[in-house]
Structure 1
Amino acid sequence: MELLAEFLTSDFLGKSAWLWFAFLGVVGALLAFDLGILHKQDKELGVGESLILSAFYIAIALVFGTWVWWSMGPTSGMEYFTGYALEKALSIDNVFVISLIFGYFAIPAKYQYRALLWGILAVLVLRGIMIGLGAALVQQYEWVLYIFGAFLIATGIKMLVMGESEQDVSKNPIVRFLSKRMRVSAELHGSHFFVRKLDPETGKLARFATPLFLALVVINIADLVFAVDSVPAIFAITTDTYIVFTANIMAILGLRALYFALAAMVHRFEYLKYALAIVLVFIGAKIFWNQIVGKVDPAISLGVTLSIIAGGVIFSLWKTRAAATDEAASHALTAPLPDSIGKRSSTRPAGED
């Protein structure tokens, strides 16, 4: 018992080991509850259910942030909330790419949530590795923060000036590599990632990957690419590895739930990417300010970040309100008539209006 107590209280990346195990335990419990109870059977997740589940994850993230504030101090609390808001906003940008991937592989909605949820397990490992490497670099070579800052400013300016290029999943090198190196079935097999079936070339049973597995791999590669922006951005807010990791993972957990609501209205957030670009420039510039002049008050950083993101969301919704109204009107005009109206019409005498 003494050895266990000593291990749990030992320092790991700046925090006691039990804090890391406690957080991973919370994440594991949420995944088990979500996958094993809420979505034990494959089904399409509606927009309403998506919003409710997302509100649940946001509430968990806010409760955790409140605990960080109470146990680690206001500075750590504000850094967590700033990092969470930033990572959440940056993660929203993933939705368009994820929807493209599912569309390319023709994955029905009822299988998408399970693939997204299993993808979290890989993201936990990938983000953990990237954050661990980033923390080691910052601790050993503090000047790396200047590189992070310059990278964020350059990325933000590029997003403002050039926008974002269209993604073509069929040209993705990972898709091409896996398609050539693995046996891939042409059709889905429910929620299975692998199946055993007759190989038409050999006539023997062989293991085939399904399109759902390829979609899962490509989604996680996309997560890794997006992490190249998000990890330096949150290290610009705080170098506390625990805050960086927990804010990242909490934002990702919530995104999976919110995906189905956002995917249906992603076109309404057309201008959010410009707000995110401004946030990246602000965070990058803040690194240089912190190192040369003095550390910016975390409350100011949180306020500016939330204001820019909220402004981008509100402006996007306002600018696209006409398109949303036209879409709703078009949907109403093309919607099928109720059965009762159709039946009344079909029983009228010929020639009657």
Structure 2
Amino acid sequence: MHVADYVWYITVGLLLALLTFDVFVIGRRPHEPSTKESARAIAFYVSLAILFGLGVWVFSGGQYAGEFFAGWLTEYSLSVDNLFIFLIIMARFQVPRKYQQTALLVGIILALFFRGIFIAVGAAAINQFSWVFYLFGAFLVYTAIHLAKQGENDDEDYKENAVIRFAKRRLNATDEYNGVKLTVVKNGKRLVTPMAIVIIALGTTDLLFALDSIPAIYGLTQEPFLVFTANVFALMGLRQLYFLLGDLLRRLVYLSLGLSVVLAFIGVKLVFHAMHENELPFINGGEHIKWAPEIPIWVSLGFIIVTLGITTILSLRKSRNMPIHHTPVPGDDDRPQDTVGTTEAPSTNGQLPGTNGQLDEATRAELDGLKEPEQSDSKKA
């Protein structure tokens, strides 16, 4: 696929402009996006990706358009799985809702940064060494087996990595949020806020997911232009998707299983491709292996769509009776303090604490006349 330099410059410039607008205009103030705002942004970014894919079809043909759409769908699915981990991190660190947008923006920018590095490294390795496809394929199959063993998505699947444990153990930290700032000065000492630990958690999670996503997309296309654009479009709108779906993300209980099937398929496809390009002397005497099948991109695209569709349907059927709950975190009740682990009693909005808006049994009995008013008055006295 021939991409002129000016096309690269224009594409990268427009995508960076969109990202800059999202970060410095839409996300200029910490707030929780409304449902309407989130839905509008997601529709815009998805439509933009579809239009870009159709543009690739017009100017470069259906083969490359299929590669883009297959790569975009795979990367988007991996990003949604990444988003589920973000949800767990926000709950674990009790990030106030109004600050979660800023944390997500930083997480998405870090994801784009890490993926950009891996895209460049992967492209250079592929150009120099054809046997890299063997490594990519083996790594994806290993990742698929690991995901399949995890089974359903669950909060308990998340384990803090060594970097997070080191940061929590070694950094002088406070348990109070200072807006979206990473540090705060107390008693003449500069302390790290919980937001800094959250950023470290999001960044290291992004790094681990980049290790999966880049080999996966290189199994669908070897065009750096398509690899880059598919990854950028897959990351756009994730912040709004987080707030739009909320705990509905937890309903995609079979997402990891579906992704394991997709990654295993792409891993096998990569190994077959490596056999065609084989130059290793200890495999088939260094000759290309002609009998290995080449899987067309349309077969790959259809397989990905069907697998993810079945995964979504089965997940929603399995979780249809799952209660939708909102994980309470500090800041949800618009209290003036943003403190982790605060003992301040939550606002009741005129309701009795612990009743969830329902009258307790004693009060209901009293109102129904099942108890004598005098008895109630004496107890109150």
2:235 to 248, 252, 262: 252
How far residue 224 of structure 1 moved from its aligned partner, in angstroms, is 0.8
Q: 1:215 to 1:20 in 2, by over 3 A?
A: farther
- The equivalent of 1:65 in structure 2 is 53
TM-score, normalising length: structure 2:
0.75
For 2:180 and 2:272, how far apart are their aligned partners in 1?
50
- The equivalent of 1:81 in structure 2 is 69
2:267 to 276, 284, 293: 284
- The equivalent of 1:331 in structure 2 is none
1:179-218 pair list within 5 angstroms: 179-195=168-184, 197-198=185-186, 200=187, 204=188, 206-218=189-201
1:208 partner SS: strand
For 1:152 and 1:179, how far apart are their aligned partners in 2?
31
Higher helix share: 1
The reply to whether residue 227 of structure 1 matches residue 210 of structure 2 is yes
For 2:38 and 2:32, how far apart are their aligned partners in 1?
10
How far residue 137 of structure 1 moved from its aligned partner, in angstroms, is 1.0
- The equivalent of 2:378 in structure 1 is none
Question: Which structure 1 residue ranges, 4+ long, deviate > 6 Å from structure 2?
Answer: none
2:166 to 165, 177, 190: 177
- The equivalent of 1:269 in structure 2 is 252
For 1:208 and 1:68, how far apart are their aligned partners in 2?
50
The reply to whether residue 34 of structure 1 matches residue 22 of structure 2 is yes
For 1:278 and 1:42, how far apart are their aligned partners in 2?
38
For 1:185 and 1:113, how far apart are their aligned partners in 2?
21
* Alignment gaps of 5+ in structure 2: 277-288, 327-354, 374-381
How far residue 46 of structure 1 moved from its aligned partner, in angstroms, is 3.8
More displaced stretch, 36-45 vs 276-285? 36-45
For 1:57 and 1:25, how far apart are their aligned partners in 2?
16
Paired letter, 1:175? I
For 1:228 and 1:155, how far apart are their aligned partners in 2?
10
For 2:96 and 2:58, how far apart are their aligned partners in 1?
43
RMSD: 3.0
Query: CA contact under 8 A between 1:233 and 1:280: conserved in structure 2?
Result: yes
User: Percent of aligned pairs with the same residue?
Assistant: 35
TM-score, normalising length: structure 1:
0.81
For 1:317 and 1:62, how far apart are their aligned partners in 2?
25
Question: 1:121-156 CA distances to partner (integer Å, 9 max, x unpaired)?
Answer: 322221111111111111111111122112212322
How far residue 47 of structure 1 moved from its aligned partner, in angstroms, is 4.2
Query: CA contact under 8 A between 2:45 and 2:237: conserved in structure 1?
Result: yes
More displaced stretch, 225-234 vs 178-187? 178-187
How far residue 351 of structure 1 moved from its aligned partner, in angstroms, is 6.2
Larger Rg: 2
Q: 1:322 to 1:183 in 2, by over 3 A?
A: closer
